[in-house]
Amino acid sequence: MISLILTLMISLGGCWDRNELTSLAITTGAAFDKSKSPDLIALTAQVINLDTLAPAAVQSTIAAPPYWNIKTTGHTVFDCIRNASQQSPNKLYWAHNQIIIFSEDLAREKGVSEYLDFFLRDAEPRISIWVLVSKGKASDILEMDSKLEPIPSINITSLIENRRYTGKASAVDLYEFSNRLLSEATAPVMSLIELIGNGEERTPLLSGTAVFNQDSKMIGTLGEQETRGMLWVIDQFESGLLIVEAPGCDGQLGLEILNSSGRIKPELANGQLKIKVEIRASASLGDADCFVDILDENTWDSINKRQAEAIREDILISLQQAQKLKADIFGFGDAVFKKYPREWKDIKPDWEEIFSALEVEIDVQTTLLRPNMILQSVNKRS
Amino acid sequence: MLGSSVVLSPGLNAGSASWLTVVTGLALASPLVWMVIKLTGDYPGKTLVELNDVILGPLWGKIFSIMYLWYFFHLGAIVLRDFGDFMSTIMPTTPTSVFLLVTTALVAYLAKSGIEGIVRYSLIIVFFSFILLGLVFILVSNNLNLSSLLPVNSISAWQFLKASYEVTVFPFGEIIVYAMIIKYTNNYQKIKRSVITALILTCIFGSLFNIYVITGLGNYLEIPTYPGYAVIRRVDIFGIITRIDIGGATADLALGVLKASVMLYAVVLGISQILKLPTYTSIVLPVGTLMFLLSLIQFDSSVENFFFHETTYPYYAAFFQAFLPALTLSIDGFKKFLTRKTDKAAA
């Protein structure tokens, strides 16, 4: 009896849910555009053509492009995906999907939450896939001719990873977007992508941030500097260059941020709410346009002061835009809720109004670490 | 005891204060634990079924025992179903009955090998599960956000007590099943100490687990079906170590099998004692099959199961965990009081 049970156990394990590579269409990206009919959802799914990823010797005999964009419509996202099997010989497989792109008009008019439910509910997709908004049609982004990387959606994933070298675009995954959406106050955000150039030479540009309201509808955008301001405050600024005026000569300096941290401290005194933002950052001198005299006693301090000033400027401009949009992109509301849960009940109903007129104190402390390989510049002293 | 709590994470209804519910849950459970220790301590060498006979007489003792055994039987079926639903969520096209069948087969095998087999299994499984869960914890650690633990008082005291009570009956109150097997421990004097140590360790682990879920999910805590599993799904180390969720699922499943096998063992042992069978091994497979069938038919959907855990189970379990032992203890106390009186009168 026991041996019968053991045999059964071995033979039954995982039977129904097995997946054979040859019967799968591995998707790497999904794009949602406005459909012609308001009741229908239009999905473009990017599928890898596995044959073209074969070793180079075999590859030269195959002329097909490395990917295929399947366009389907349906009443729900899942419906679209199942309808895709009417066109594709292989069933779409979502475990390796990297990105979801929404077109801007769709995000502004319909909101995105109804499109996200499937990706959270189904067991196949990862919760760490990136979400983006595209200026223009989302499916166009998946069709561009990418240069070094043959598959456009993988190319975009690399661009998102690269944002850590500039800090000029945000990187938001499905988890973080949902987490912000489920908050009582914080405004959800997504990365923003567009195509630049024309004709054959169109390339993607990842720049800035799309801002949503609590109904998951897009209400505005942040530019590059405003995005940086947000990243400083929410402690997600990884690295990037700060361009400051050089002291003592006519030119500019590039300071590379190496470390940074941001903290939000709400203070409630006499019924007056105030937010204190504390930024700590350190940078090194990355390049100089002109002869900057580091050996002069005051120069180093003065560059450091300009660094702090540049960061403060980023945050101020970001705050202005957020207050104009009445969107709490920094999570100030959550911080207030955590520190003053009782008072928050009274604040919550008017939070948008309170936020748009909120007094924010920005405290930036910076260090300038080193001038790197050369102490003096090759630029001639002016 | 940890088994299904890891999958279903009881007490998480209390939001950011959920880790505290485990502690208050244990505090609320302490009278139940005391009753188990008192009953088994007063009648050393006897299982729950045997001491019921002594205290309540052959007829009422058996009625009480049958009620207890039904509860253990049902609890085993619930545990199996919890894991069947969980596995089906991960592997959607495989029928739940398949998962139930293979786990029941293992559970029956363990129960048949007796208390020694179960304990040996538990030593290995608990060790490996903890290593696996510890590894997952380390990999998740960069996703944890400690500020999610604030504010501590986000919910009303009543809601907090309710969430704590859920932890009391599931899992702490389920200690009653140990009244069936406690006589097999090597050293009688150490029972009290080992039970209390086990409970405190469970409490610490449970609190840590809830802290890990709260800080790992933040606001997202509100929506996943299996919060603990959702945390593991977030693991992404430089795009290299991803999708390690199945490791966590394996550890959970191994612990669940342990819990279900203790339940099945308690049931077959009890039945054999009531029916005065020479050995319990002959009824393991029939009872195991019945447990499998009950776990299969008791809920039409996993949502029904969650609903049962939320609404019915807390009251249902209280009957077996609190009411029956309390009644038994007070009858026992009353009888002892009477005999002492008659002894005195006779003297």
Residue of A nearest to B285 (CA): A1
**Which segments in chain A show pLDDT lower than 70?**
1-2, 4-20, 52-64, 146, 382
Say how far apart CA B197 and CA A39 lie, in whole Å.
Answer: 60
A162 touches chain B (CB under 8 A): no
pLDDT per position as a tens digit, A272-314: 899 999 999 999 999 998 888 888 888 999 999 999 999 999 9
> How far out from the chain centre does Cα A237 lie?
12
- Predicted local distance difference test score (pLDDT) of residue A146: 67
Say how far apart CA A104 and CA A168 lie, in whole Å.
Answer: 19
pLDDT range class, residue B4, cuts 50, 70, 90: very low
pLDDT per position as a tens digit, A223-268: 999 999 999 999 999 999 999 999 888 889 999 999 999 999 999 8
Residue of A nearest to B150 (CA): A338
Question: Which of A16, A128, A180 is nearest residue B236 as measured by Cβ atoms?
Answer: A128
Residue of A nearest to B87 (CA): A14
Say how far apart CA A126 and CA A98 lie, in whole Å.
Answer: 8
Classify A235 in phi/psi space as left (phi over 0), alpha (psi -120 to 50) or beta.
left
Query: If you classify domain A224-382 with CATH, what class do you get?
Result: alpha beta
- Predicted local distance difference test score (pLDDT) of residue A193: 94
Going from the C-alpha of A188 to that of each of A192, A193, B55, the distances in angstroms are 13, 16, 64
Indicate yes or no: CB of A182 within 8 angstroms of CB of B219. Answer: yes
Indicate yes or no: CB of B106 within 8 angstroms of CB of A126. Answer: no
CB B188 within 8 A of CB B52: no
Using a CB-CB distance cutoff of 8 angstroms, which residues of chain A are in contact with residue B92? Answer: 17, 123
Going from the C-alpha of A261 to that of each of A239, A363, A366, the distances in angstroms are 11, 12, 10
- Find the mean pLDDT for residues B79-87: 89
A4 touches chain B (CB under 8 A): no
- Predicted local distance difference test score (pLDDT) of residue A228: 94
Indicate yes or no: CB of A15 within 8 angstroms of CB of B98. Answer: yes
- Is the pLDDT score of B136 beyond 90? no
Interface residue ranges in chain B relative to chain A, Cβ cutoff 8 Å: 89-95, 98, 101-102, 105-106, 108-109, 147, 150-151, 153-154, 217-220, 222-223, 230, 233-234, 236, 242-243, 285
CB B72 within 8 A of CB B245: no
> How far out from the chain centre does Cα A275 lie?
25
- Predicted local distance difference test score (pLDDT) of residue B185: 65
pLDDT range class, residue B11, cuts 50, 70, 90: low
- Predicted local distance difference test score (pLDDT) of residue B2: 44
Ramachandran angles phi, psi of A63, nearest 5°: -100, -10
Indicate yes or no: CB of A8 within 8 angstroms of CB of B234. Answer: no
List, as ranges, residues 15-34 from A with C-beta within 8 Å of B: 15-17
Q: Which residue has the tokens 């204060």?
A: B17
- Find the mean pLDDT for residues B143-172: 80
Among residues B27, B40, B26, which one has the least CA distance to residue B328?
B40
Residue of A nearest to B237 (CA): A128
SS3 of A197, please?
coil
DSSP state of A266: E
Residue of B nearest to A176 (CA): B220
Say how far apart CA B11 and CA B248 lie, in whole Å.
Answer: 20
A10 touches chain B (CB under 8 A): no
pLDDT range class, residue B17, cuts 50, 70, 90: confident
Using a CB-CB distance cutoff of 8 angstroms, which residues of chain B are in contact with residue A178? Answer: 220, 223
Question: Which of B94, B150, B154 is nearest residue A15 as measured by Cβ atoms?
Answer: B94
This complex has an ipTM of: 0.82
- Is the pLDDT score of B187 beyond 80? no
Element (H, E) at B303: helix B302-307
Q: Which residue has the tokens 């990136």?
A: A130
Among residues A171, A105, A176, which one has the least CA distance to residue A138?
A105
- Residue B169 CB: number of other CB atoms within 10 A? 24
pLDDT range class, residue B3, cuts 50, 70, 90: very low
Classify A329 in phi/psi space as left (phi over 0), alpha (psi -120 to 50) or beta.
alpha
- Is the pLDDT score of B49 beyond 80? yes
Q: What percentage of residues in chain B have a pLDDT greater than 70?
A: 91
Element (H, E) at A45: strand A41-48
- Predicted local distance difference test score (pLDDT) of residue B205: 83
Residue type, A306: R
Residue of B nearest to A184 (CA): B219
Measured between CA atoms, how close is A128 to chain B, in angstroms?
6
Q: At the topology level of CATH, where does B3-346 sit? A: Amino acid/polyamine transporter I (1.20.1740)
- Predicted local distance difference test score (pLDDT) of residue B1: 42
How would you class A63 by CB atoms within 10 Å of its CB: exposed for 0-12, middle for 13-18, buried for 19 or more? exposed
Ramachandran angles phi, psi of A366, nearest 5°: -130, 160
Say how far apart CA B328 and CA B323 lie, in whole Å.
Answer: 9
Q: Could you tell me which residue, B137 or A307, shows the higher pLDDT?
A: A307
Say how far apart CA B14 and CA B31 lie, in whole Å.
Answer: 23
| Contacts of residue B142, Cβ cutoff 8 Å, sequence gap at least 6 | none
Q: Which of A78, A81, A116, A128 to mutate to test the interface with B (most CBs of B within 10 A)?
A: A128
Measured between CA atoms, how close is A2 to chain B, in angstroms?
7
Q: Could you tell me which residue, B116 or A75, shows the higher pLDDT?
A: A75
Question: Which of A16, A95, A338 is nearest residue B151 as measured by Cβ atoms?
Answer: A338
Say how far apart CA B333 and CA A210 lie, in whole Å.
Answer: 71
- Residue B132 CB: number of other CB atoms within 10 A? 18
Check whether the bond before B171 is cis (ω within 30° of 0).
yes
- Is the pLDDT score of B268 beyond 90? yes
- Is the pLDDT score of B248 beyond 80? no
Residue of B nearest to A7 (CA): B102
- Predicted local distance difference test score (pLDDT) of residue B137: 79
Q: For residue A252, give both structure tokens.
A: 């500019």
Say how far apart CA B293 and CA B188 lie, in whole Å.
Answer: 37
Measured between CA atoms, how close is B340 to chain A, in angstroms?
53
Question: Which of B94, B101, B222 is nearest residue A182 as measured by Cβ atoms?
Answer: B222
Q: So where are chain A's domains? A: 21-222, 224-382
- Find the mean pLDDT for residues B70-88: 91
- Is the pLDDT score of B246 beyond 90? no
